[in-house]
Amino acid sequence: MEKLYSTGEFAKLAGVTIRTIRYYDKIGLLKPTMILENGYRRYCNQDLITLQKILCLKELGFSLEEIYPLIQDNDQDSFLHSIQLQTNLIDQKIKHLNNLKDSLKATERLISKNNIAWDKIIELIKLSAIDENIVENYMNAKNLKTRIKLHDLFSTNPQGWFPWLFEQIDFSTVYRLLEIGCGNGKLWENNHYNLRNREIFLSDNSEGMIEEVKEKLGNDYNYLVIDCHNIPFKNNYFDTIIANHVLFYLKDLDLGLSQISRVLKSRGTFYCTTYSKKHMQEIDEIAKNFDNRISLSDEPLPDYFGLENGHEILSKYFNYIELRKYEDSLMITQAQPLIDYILSCHGNQNDILVNRMNEFKKYIEDLIKKSNGIKITKDSGLFICTK
**Helix residue ranges, H only, the chain:** 7-14, 18-26, 45-59, 64-67, 76-112, 118-154, 161-168, 207-217, 253-263, 281-290, 301-304, 310-314, 335-343, 349-353, 357-371
pLDDT band at 110 (very low <50, low <70, confident <90, very high): low
**How far is Cα 192 from Cα 340, in angstroms, rounded to an integer?**
32
pLDDT in tens, 10-28: 889 888 899 999 988 888 8
pLDDT over 90 percentage in the chain = 51
Residue 306: how many other CB atoms lie within 10 Å: 22
- Which has more pLDDT, 159 or 133? 159
Residues 6+ away with beta carbon under 8 Å from 35: 41, 42
Poorest-confidence range of 87-101, 273-287, 323-337? 87-101
- Rounded distance between C-alpha atoms, residue 89 and residue 60, angstroms: 7
For residue 79, what are the contacts with CB-CB under 8 A and spacing of at least 6?
A: 49, 53
Q: Flag whether pLDDT at 120 surpasses 70.
A: no
Q: pLDDT at residue 241 above 60? A: yes
- Residue 29 scores a pLDDT above 90: no
In tens, the pLDDT along 272-289 reads: 999 999 999 999 999 999
Beta-carbon count within 10 A of 37 CB = 5
Q: Which domains does the chain have, with CATH numbers?
A: 7-59 (1.10.1660.10), 76-135 (no CATH), 161-386 (3.40.50.150)
